[in-house]
């Protein structure tokens, strides 16, 4: 019962046209030219929260985020984490990114 109610609620707030635009916006996410990691990470998390029915799992979300980063930011994350972010579990990667983004503020 709760699942159907939730589906109806989401469908009413987020019709298919908005879903398609949101999914495309998330899939093509990229870091701005003058944007710091903390700003980029906060903008990405906000985008994910704004469209809860995006259907990207945690691994896909991390891949989209990481792929959208500038090369310098990827190098900074790798240097800070000691390994590439994508070699961690999604939970570990999020903790690392949160930590590095907080110190990048």
Say which residue the tokens 């979300």 belong to. 61
Nearest to 100 by CA among 75, 80, 73: 80
Give me 98's structure tokens.
């949160």
pLDDT in tens, 41-56: 999 999 999 887 788 9
Nearest to 40 by CA among 69, 62, 67, 60: 69
pLDDT in tens, 8-61: 877 777 677 777 888 999 999 999 999 999 999 999 999 999 887 788 999 999
pTM recorded for the entire structure:
0.81
């Amino acid at each position: 019962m709760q699942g159907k109610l939730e589906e109806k609620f989401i469908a009413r707030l987020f019709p298919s046209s908005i879903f398609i635009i949101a999914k495309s916006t998330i899939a093509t996410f990229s870091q701005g030219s003058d944007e710091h990691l903390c700003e980029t990470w906060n903008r990405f998390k906000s985008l994910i929260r704004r469209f809860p029915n995006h259907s990207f799992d945690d691994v896909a979300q991390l891949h989209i985020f990481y792929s959208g980063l500038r090369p310098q930011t990827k190098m900074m994350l790798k240097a800070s984490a000691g390994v590439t972010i994508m070699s961690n579990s999604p939970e570990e990667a999020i903790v690392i990114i949160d930590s590095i983004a907080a110190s990048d503020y």
